[in-house]
Structure formats: C-alpha cells, structure tokens
Amino acid sequence: MSGQEELPSALPMPAAAALVFVAAGAVLMLEILAVRLLAPYVGLTLETTTSIIGAALAGIATGAAVGGYLADRTDTRQLVVGLLVVGGLLTLLTVPAVRWLGPGARGSGDLAALGITAIALVPAAAVLSAVSPAIAHLQLHDLRASGTIVGRLSAWATAGALLGTFGTGFVVIPLVPVGTAVLAIGVALVLVGIVLGTTTRLLAPAGVAAAVVITIAFGALSAAAASPCQRETDYHCIELQADPKSSSGYELVLDNVHNSYVDLDDPTYLRYEYTRWIADAVDGYFPRRQPLDAVFIGGGGFTLPRWLLATRPGSEAEVLEVDGGMVDFVEERLGLRPSPKLRVSIGDARTTMREVPGDSADLVVGDAFSGFTVPWHLTTSEWLEEVRRVLKPGGIYAANLIDLQPLDFIKAEAATMLDAFPEVKMITFLDPETGGLYGGNIVLIASDRKLPARVASRADGGATFLTSAVEELAAEGQPLRDDYAPVDQLRTE
C-alpha cells in the first residue's frame, strides 16, 4: 500500500474490538434510557418510541458517514480519543436537555417527542457512532485482510449493541435510576477516552485536566436536573401529592398525569368523575351491598377495588397490574394490603388474564389507560373475547377510555365492543352548549343482558347512560383487532 508507513499504527485487535463494543453499546443504552427519560413528558406512545428509534438511527448514520470522512483526513488515533471524550460529555448533557425541554413539550403533540430526541440524543449517538469507522480505518493496513478486519469489528460493535440493549432493559432500568445510569455511561466513556489518550501519549496532562473538569461540571449539571419522580419503576415515573384540603387524601401521579385519588380514611370516597360513573353503573346494575367477584385491569392507587370491598362486604377483587414497582410503592405509601379478598397479579393483563378462571367474575373493570398511554392490546376483539370468557352470564365490563373530538378511537372501540357484546352503553359528560359528546373520560359499559335505561349519577352534571350515541359512533368506526389496532393514531390528546 502506497504511503502505508505514514499511517498510524493499528491498535491491538482486542483493544480495537473493545472500543467499538463500548461505543456501540453506549448508543443502544442511551436509546432505551431515552424512553424512560421522555415518558414523564410525552408518554409511552408508539410515536414516542418511533421518534427515539428514528433519532438514534439518524445519529448512527450521521456518525458513520462523518466518522469515516474524518478518519481519512485526520490523525485517526487522536480522532478516536476525541470522539470518546466528546461522546461522553454529550451523553452527560442528555438528562439536562430532556428535563429542561420536557415540561414545555406536554400537550404539544408528537413533534415534541421528535424535537426533544433530536436535540438530546442525536449528537451523542452521532459522535459515538463515528468511533467504529475511525477504528476500522486505523486497523486497515492490509487490504488483503480488510474483509476479516471490518467483519470482526462489525461483529464486536453488534455484540456491544446487543449487550447494551438487553443489559439496559433487564438489568439497568430495574436497578438504577435513569439519570444515574446516563451519568455513569457518560463518565465511563470519558474515562475510556482519557485512558486511551494517556496510554498512547496523545492526550497531554493539560488535556486530561480539562476533560476531568468539564466532566465534573457536566456531571453536576446532570445531577442538578431534578427528576420529577419520587420513584422510578420499569414502567412509570411516580409522584405522590398530598391533598392540601384533606389530611388523608393523596393524588397518585404517573408520568406527570394524575392517575388516582385515594382517601386513606374513607375508601368509599371517589374524587374522579369516571370512578363515580363506574360505581354508579355497578350500583345501578347489581342490588346494593350484594357481594361481587371482580377483576380490575390496572391498579393505580387501587381506588375502585378499595371502594368495592368497603361498600359490598364479602366481595373479592383481583387486580391485574403490569407494574410491580408501583404496587410496592402503593403498599408503602398508600396503605395497600393485599389479602385473599384483594389479590394482586403482576404482569401484562393479556397474559395474566389467561390465569383467571372462566365464568368467575360479576364485574371486569378496564382502567389501564392514562392521558398519554393506551395499551392497544387491551382494546381489541381478541381481548374482549378474554373478558367475555372471564365474565359470568349477566356480568358487566366497564372500560374507562380517554379521547377527544373527533373521537376516532372511541368510534373504533364502540364498534369493537358492539361486536363482542349485545348491549353497550356509554357514560360521559355532554357539551353544555351543544348537547353533543364533549370527550375526555368516556366509560363504556357492556353486558350480555339488558342494561338499565339510566342510573342515578353522583357526578356533577348528571352523567347518564347513552345508548344511541354508542351505535352512532360505532357506525363510523372500524373494529380493532390484534393485527390492526392503530390506537395511538386514532386517539386525540
């Protein structure tokens, strides 16, 4: 090779493999951690995860192109050292960027998620993704072995990405706060760059000192970007807010959305309208104080299960909750006491529901949705088949749904439920000016037998059962199925 003697000497292959392994692993770790960083502000929607994946891929593509270009025109070893240090510093800035920009993104739609990920994730991903082509350039001194060298480096980079993916999802997030994990990744990358720079004598003491000082400053900045969470779980950022008007009242806030209100002294108190609507439907359908067997999809603060046990002695409730960390939090802070009368099954409801015996429940309550997040697989025809299997003849299914005009999601779900149940009614507020559907919380009640024409409502505004509205909405909707349920696209926030 002409001019081969002028090329920087190759690194030992184990060192080269380790560097691409670490850089690629760091990118994938950041990608997964970004989901949890963004969730409190823009939710866990398909658009959020799509934005994050797209941003990471944009960074990887940019880094690969720019890294290869620079490697051909600079001192490659110095380039690699600089990429690791700068990549680590940019990683340290991802947490402050998300937590400073996030509050302004609430309610701004899907473009907010895309904008924040572009600012917070793309620069770090691009710089770290430039490491692999730079290392490949450094190692390619013999074109006869180019395929072997590039293939081996690519394999090690992929291995790092795999370990970063599985390690973050299965180990890091369950054990370490997200901000701490990102801080550790950034510091580790800077340290790797410093070690490489000092061992190859490419980083002078002044450069090392500058890198350390900047790392400390950026690390302090990251630590100062306060997390909105009192507890981070695998699924949620949790806050608990005391009610200033009640010494025993608390709001459970999940990902910055008010999820449940619990009165520790009065389990019969229902603050939110939709919980009163469901309670009204239950009391209007079943004789008062009759014990019921109930399954609740989603726990939150366990407001409705506590209400059922308090108002109907002898009842039994099973709660299917995906977030075991939240259940632990509610036990610690809100006095939840599981018992044979109040059982908790941890896991996704589509799988845990299979363990519930058929014809065993008088009541199934679907309350797993929040303002940001809709588990689409709990809206489909196949899901409703499971609900019908669990319900006793004459039982009812009450689903709390959230949508705004033009109510495309409600239209689709109304069509889905009318396919599954002969009787479906709606409880919601009507627009005081037009008399039409207002949107927001909408409760659909379904059964295989006739429902009451109306029930007395404890909610302000006199919310009542509506039958014709369900049929009219369903006529404009397409039933949801497991293979076609674009819920995130149908909903209006």
Mind listing the pLDDT tens digit for each residue in 33-47? 998 888 777 777 777
Give the model's pLDDT for residue 383. 97
331's CB contacts (< 8 A; 6+ apart) are: 337, 338
Asked if residue 2 has pLDDT above 70, the reply is: no
- At 8, the pLDDT band (50, 70, 90 cuts) reads low
Strand partners, 363: 294, 396
361's CB contacts (< 8 A; 6+ apart) are: 293, 294, 295, 390, 391, 392, 395
Contacts 24+ apart (CB under 8 A), 431-434: 432/461
Tokens of 130: 């430039």
- At 3, the pLDDT band (50, 70, 90 cuts) reads very low
Among 39-48, 153-162, 286-295, which stretch is predicted with the lowest mean pLDDT?
Answer: 39-48
Distance CA 220, CA 214 (A): 10
Helices (H) and strands (E) in the chain — how many of each?
Answer: 19, 12
Give the model's pLDDT for residue 5. 46
Q: Which of 140, 114, 205 is nearest to 7 (CA)?
A: 140
- The bridge status of strand 391-403 relative to strand 440-447 is antiparallel
- At 468, the pLDDT band (50, 70, 90 cuts) reads confident
Kindly list the distances between the CA atom of residue 484 and the CA atoms of 267, 416, 481, 487, in Å, as whole numbers in the listed order: 39, 12, 5, 9
Asked if residue 231 has pLDDT above 80, the reply is: yes
Asked if residue 373 has pLDDT above 80, the reply is: no
- At 458, the pLDDT band (50, 70, 90 cuts) reads low
- At 32, the pLDDT band (50, 70, 90 cuts) reads very high
- At 457, the pLDDT band (50, 70, 90 cuts) reads low
The amino acid sitting at 339 is: S
User: What is the average pLDDT across 48-54?
Assistant: 87
- At 107, the pLDDT band (50, 70, 90 cuts) reads low
- pLDDT higher at 453 or 449: 449
Percentage of the chain modeled with pLDDT above 70: 92
Kindly list the distances between the CA atom of residue 48 and the CA atoms of 169, 229, 435, in Å, as whole numbers in the listed order: 17, 19, 35
Kindly list the distances between the CA atom of residue 116 and the CA atoms of 52, 109, 147, 459, in Å, as whole numbers in the listed order: 9, 12, 38, 39
Distance CA 79, CA 59 (A): 18
Q: 37-60 in b/e burial notation, b at 16+ Cβ within 10 A? A: bbbbbbbbbebbbebbeebbebbb
- The mean of the pLDDT values for the chain is 89
* Alpha helices (H) in 204-255, listed in sequence order: 205-224
**Residue 364 near residue 356, CB atoms below 8 Å:** no
Distance CA 240, CA 155 (A): 46
Q: Which of 322, 333, 324 is nearest to 367 (CA)?
A: 322
pTM of the model: 0.83
- At 127, the pLDDT band (50, 70, 90 cuts) reads very high
Give the model's pLDDT for residue 1. 43
Give the model's pLDDT for residue 416. 97
- At 298, the pLDDT band (50, 70, 90 cuts) reads very high
User: What is the average pLDDT across 138-147?
Assistant: 82
Give the model's pLDDT for residue 7. 56
Secondary structure E strands in 149-273: 231-232, 237-242, 249-254, 257-263
Distance CA 377, CA 417 (A): 14
**Residue 309 near residue 315, CB atoms below 8 Å:** yes
Residue 401, H or E segment? strand 391-403
The amino acid sitting at 174 is: P
**Residue 366 near residue 376, CB atoms below 8 Å:** no
